[in-house]
Amino acid sequence: MRGTFVIPAKPLYEGKAKSVYSSENPDELIVVFRNDMTAFNGVKHDQFTDKGRLNATASEFFMRMLETEGIPTHFVRMSAPDTMVVRRLEMIPLEVIVRNIAAGSMTKKYPVDEGTVLDRPVVTIDYKDDERGDPMINDDLILVFHILNAEELTKVKEMALKVNKVLRGFFDECGITLVDFKLEFGKSAGTIYLGDEISMDSMRLWDKVTGESLDKDVYRFDKGDVITAYRNVLKRIIPDAVV
Ligand code: ATP
Ligand code: TYD
């Protein structure tokens, strides 16, 4: 059981960190945020008590916030602390990354030092395909492969930059720098929705004063206790949350 939802024996899809189940409503899916944590395309893998709930809580919080800012999201409701009911989307196989500060793969691929503040937010897009190592893709390839048409591509980038504007300002007020993050989008009845998650797994967050990592980099690079870092973020963004 996950709240009012009885988990079917088999998920429709078991990802690296979430399991997706069908629902009685054919337009909805049930997403369970698991305690699994992976890095480096699954090479590093562990489980941490409470991790699923912490990420689900953050994701719910941000999806609700973005809805009020006019961004359509897949969020419908929570059915348990680690379980989200979402609109079923036809997912677009792209990882849309917005970067405010150079870090991670950007500093490995290009001659830019970690921590360099970019002149303006930059959108980079990876083709979501684990077997091919999620290669970076460009506008021409997205169009020629018919992943999106030109209007949809413009819309996706606009939405990603709007999400950045909203989240960046919010985090700043919480004493956190939003370095970069990844979004996934999907379609339903011709409309593009923000799907997947917005959590400490999918963002790079630095304490504004100390510069310490408060996200999955704590796990990736053994920088300390990742659950303590995730709780720290939740306490700052939702002061009355039970974490
Ligand atoms: P990665 O970790 O690289 O994002 P994954 O597939 O292992 O990939 P999970 O988060 O574990 O990721 O799995 C969740 C899956 O559910 C993803 O494939 C995601 O694209 C998909 N998904 C998210 N939201 C929706 C939705 N509203 N409708 C349909 N599928 C969705
Ligand atoms: P990026 O620097 O491209 O990759 P890495 O984290 O492997 O160095 O990541 C940019 C941001 O996007 C970062 O906040 C993590 C997030 N992200 C994901 O959540 N999933 C992914 O598969 C990728 C590539 C990035």
Question: In Å, how far are 62, 176, 191 from 195, measured between CA atoms?
Answer: 12, 24, 12
Which atom of ligand 1 sits closest to the CA of residue 184? 20
Q: Cβ–Cβ contacts within 10 Å for residue 227, how many?
A: 19
Counting residues of the chain whose pLDDT is more than 90, the rounded percentage is: 93
Q: Which atom belonging to ligand 2 lies closest to the Cα atom of 217?
A: 6
Q: State which ligand 1 atom lies nearest to the alpha carbon of 193.
A: 27
pLDDT at res. 242: 80
Could you tell me which CATH class the domain 90-224 is placed in?
A: alpha beta
Most informative mutation of 31, 38, 219 for ligand 1 (most atoms within 8 A of CB): 31
Q: How far apart are CA 183 and CA 58, in angstroms?
A: 14
Query: Identical fold at 13-87 and 90-224?
Result: no
Could you state, in order of their start, the residue ranges of all structural domains in the chain? Answer: 13-87, 90-224
Its pTM stands at: 0.96
Model pLDDT, residue 42? 86
Q: Which of 6-10, 104-108, 122-126 has the lowest mean pLDDT?
A: 6-10
According to the model, what pLDDT value does residue 9 have?
Answer: 65
Task: Name the burial class of residue 131, with classes exposed (0-12), middle (13-18) and buried (19+) by CB atoms within 10 angstroms of its CB.
Answer: exposed
pLDDT at position 7 is 67
Average pLDDT, the chain: 96
In tens, the pLDDT along 54-106 reads: 999 999 999 999 999 999 999 999 999 999 999 999 999 999 999 999 999 99
Higher per-residue confidence, 4 vs 142:
142
pLDDT at 236 > cutoff 60: yes
Give strand ranges (E) for 48-116.
75-80, 83-87, 90-91, 94-101
At 154-181, the pLDDT tens digits run 999 999 999 999 999 999 999 999 999 9
The residue that leads in pLDDT, 48 or 8, is 48
What is the CATH architecture of 13-87?
2-Layer Sandwich (3.30)
